[in-house]
Every structure is written in C-alpha cells, then in structure tokens.
Homo-oligomer: A and B are copies of this chain.
Amino acid sequence: MASQALPYRPHNHQACVTQALADARAICRAQNARLTPTRERVLELIWQSHKPLGAYDVLAELTAEGQNAAPPTVYRALDFLQQHGLVHRIASLNAFIGCAHAGENHTGMFLICRSCGNVLELTAPGVSGAIEGAAKAEHFKAENVTLEIAGLCPRCQSESRHD
C-alpha cells in the first residue's frame, strides 16, 4: 500500500506547526500584512491538529490562557487568516483548518473523516479543471469553490475492518 498522507499516520506534528508558522510569517511579510500576536496564536491553535477547530474552541483556548478575548477577537483573527490564505473554513462543519498549501494559488479539496475527524487538504488539478469546465458550460463565472468530501480515511477504514 502506498504511503498515507500526513494526517492519517503518526508523524512529528510539531514540525507541521513550526513550518506553518514560518510560512505564515514569510507570507505576511511579503504581503505587508501584520501577523500580530493574537493572529499568530490563533493560527497556531488552529494547527494544533489536523482536525478542524471551531471558532468557539479557539476562543476557549484563548480565554483559558488568560487572554482577553471575546467572539469578535477570534472571528477577526480568522478573517485575517482566511484573507491571506492561511486557514480555510470548512462550511459543512462550521470549523477552521490550517491551509496546507499556503502561498500556492489553489482550490482546496477537503477529505473529511467522519470517524477520526482528520482532514486532508488536496489540490487536484483534474478536479478543478472539471469543475471549471462544468461551470463554463453553463456560462457561469465561478469565483469561489467549496469542495468538501466526507467519508472514511484509510486508517479508519482498516480499523473498522478489524472490529
């Protein structure tokens, strides 16, 4: 069997976080955007795992750390991070996840495991092309694509076989 994608297997996740934060700093510097402490901390919290995190989960962490935070605090930080392509919102879950392809121009495709909750973000050119083609055939000008696939990740499939 081919090697599985990161979210589906044990790995040094701290490296994911470190890399994501480093990328974020570089991207913000390049765009002259201010990655303030709260924004950076929210991004780090979002990256705590490969599972999407709800805005109010982020809020709870912030307040637990003694930070003066209210819902707008979190939503503002999340808006900023989305604008700069650092996090994605998963509409079907009302939750947020770190972008695995920050800086690259891409259309996210999310594989969401309903069992373990992990999410893998893909860029599938074939899929994007097919979507654009279908939209074009209807003379529809596509601006934003939401593509979220719920199901079972490789790990959870094999676990359910061994129950």
Contacts and interface: CB of A to CB of B under 8 A. Distances in A.
Interface of A: 1-2, 4-5, 91-92, 109, 111, 113-114, 120, 122, 124, 126-127, 129-131, 133-135, 138-154, 157
List the number of copies, as a whole number.
2
Contacts of A139: 1-2, 4, 153-154, 157
A130 B124 CA distance: 9
A55 to B, nearest CB: 15
A2 B139 CA distance: 9
25 contacts: A91-B148, A111-B135, A111-B140, A114-B143, A120-B138, A120-B140, A124-B130, A126-B133, A127-B130, A131-B147, A135-B151, A139-B153, A140-B152, A140-B154, A141-B157, A142-B151, A143-B150, A143-B152, A144-B149, A145-B147, A145-B148, A145-B150, A146-B147, A146-B148, A146-B150
